[in-house]
A and B are shown apart, each in its own frame.
Chain A
Amino acid sequence: MPFQQGSARTRQRTVLLVGIVLLLATLVLAVVLASLLTHGKHEDSPKMLKWKDRGTTKNLQEVILGRCYNYITERYPELGDKDCLKIWESLKDAFIYKNPCNITTEDYQPLMELASHPIPCNKSLFWSKTNDLVHRYTKSNQNFLTLEDTLLGYMADRISWCGDPSAPGINYESCPKRSECESNPSSVFWKMASKMFAEAACGVVQVMLNGSIEAGAFRSTSIFGSIEVFNLNPDKVSEVHIWVMHDIGGPQSESCSGHSIQRLKNILEERNFKIICEDNYRPVQLLQCVHNPDHTDCRLCTNSTAVP
């Protein structure tokens, strides 16, 4: 670089400085604009109603569609005629852009019709307060089906959704808890699906109850106690088998001879169902022992040998 005169150097320096200042000013302006825009975006979503429970599961559409096709492929190929896209659309239409405290059974009617399918007799397995155990059981033993093993339940299990009147119509931030309003998308869905599941049952039906909880194994406020029991069809269902399970090493708060079970038996007898009750139904207890193999209650008659 040729050596420059003093004044030319000063001019050059000034130009450089001005250039840097301009660049900095542009950067600052850009940052301010960007923050204003995103702040503006955040201003939009507060228009959505705020609730206490977790929001709609992200990528709900992909998850629902995938589960629908997966269920048909893996579990129930005979349902090959089900249109999963239509099923997704009918689920979306049930809640999108609606106030999530105003959901009705009519909203879900198209979905229920599209996704329902027959249940083989003698396989329906109801449950109350035994979520983990009952589903580990049906996963390991294909003899029984819970609601969550039917297409509708399989798609919706562990997922949440709710809408909002303002765009984009789906609330991913929060959804109403039952305590905030009863007619929320989730509660209405599960109540309706449970009713249909009970109505579809035939032959011998089973119910797994928790004999280790203080509040009682059978509660009239549970979905089983308030909806399913009353929607079993006496013309289709012949017998109800009750399994009262105790936690391994847990309290035996109630058993087949307990008060709440007696209440359940009365309700069922009144509707002309034959009842069999069993404490700690063997196969399910074996499943409990998988997690407690060394508990004294789980000692096998034949011992295993460890080879060092």
Chain B
Amino acid sequence: MMMSLFLPLLLVSVLFMSSFSEVQGRKWKGEGTTQNLESIAIGRCYDYIRIVNPAVGEKNCSEIWEAFKSAFINKDPCSILPEDYELFINLSLHTIPANKSLFWENNQLLVNSFADRGRRYMSVGDTLFGFFGDFLNWCGQANSSGLDYESCPTTMECETNAVDSFWRMASITYAKHSSGEIHVLLNGSAVGGAYPQPSFFADYEIPNLQKDKISQIVIWVVDDIEGPDLDSCGIHSVKILETRLKTLGYNVTCIDNYKSVVFLLCLDYPDNSKCAVPSF
């Protein structure tokens, strides 16, 4: 009977030890740095200046990569601040054409499609500095010049991590250099409101808009085709946003379910009644 107890106990303790050592190996809870980050990032930089938007002129992509790395390499991955990316931003900054800025919350893929890689609108992901880091993950480690490919801190573990600080700096920069008629695409079906707080838009973009360069702010609140209509112009969080912007002195327009965007959403639901077009 002792033997029959011994084996399961042994098995359990071996399993426990191996899972414990796995936890020991991973410092953080988030995914590690994207594989081949350097090649991807430098490739994207050249892709952008040669193909996507040659209007930005000549940029030194190796220098940009080095500046990017210097923001977080050889540092405690929980001690990275937006300002650490200042050199990176200075090297990769370019004009954002007037009337082309598109801010957003809770609809990244939709914005990607709608902006059409900068041809219709230029979202932050369509700028060189945003294009550089979009959908990628990265972090360094203290006392090492290497990237951590095993794990990186999540926002919950620490807010001042390499990726979050990057996007804060990118958002600040993007807002500062936006001009003319600017657009904000919000998700009317998002739980927590179309205009979430806290958020990049609320905390890093609105405060950095340059009032003297902006003629109008156009808000689009679009519901998911099969989603609930939780928020709309003039109510709840959108009303808070409209009030905030008007108080700051901006001309504000708000449109519910802007047709162009609805058509794009309809691609996946062509037979939904919201997508019915009599002439088709």
Contacts and interface: CB of A to CB of B under 8 A. Distances in A.
Do A and B pair up? The answer is yes
Interface stretch (A66-74, A220-228, A252-260): A66-74
B55 to A, nearest CB: 15
Given A69-B40, A300-B262, A63 B46 contact: yes
B43 A282 contact: no
A196 interface: no
Interface in B229-280: 232-234, 253-264, 266-268, 270, 273-280
Interface in A58-87: 58-59, 62-67, 69-70, 73-74, 84
Interface residues of A, number: 44
Contacts of B42: 62, 66
Contacts of A64: 43
Interface in A22-69: 57-59, 62-67, 69
A63 B51 contact: yes
Contact of B259 (A59, A137, A159, A293): A293
Nearest to B52: A158
A305 interface: yes
Chain A's interface: helix, strand, loop or mixed, by majority?
helix
Contacts, number: 134
Nearest to B44: A66
B53 to A, nearest CB: 12
B61 interface: yes
Interface in B86-106: none
Interface stretch (B10-18, B31-39, B190-198): B31-39
Contact of B35 (A73, A280, A297, A298): A73
A1 interface: no
A122 B60 CA distance: 43
Contacts of B253: 306, 308
Chain A CB within 10 A, most for which of B35, B36, B253: B36
Contact of A304 (B45, B114, B256): B256
Contact of A62 (B61, B112, B256, B259): B61
A107 B158 CA distance: 52
A307 B234 contact: yes
A300 B47 contact: no
A275 interface: no
Chain A CB within 10 A, most for which of B39, B255, B257: B39
18 contacts: A57-B50, A62-B39, A62-B45, A63-B46, A66-B41, A66-B43, A70-B43, A158-B51, A282-B280, A283-B267, A283-B268, A283-B270, A289-B259, A296-B279, A298-B277, A300-B263, A300-B274, A300-B277
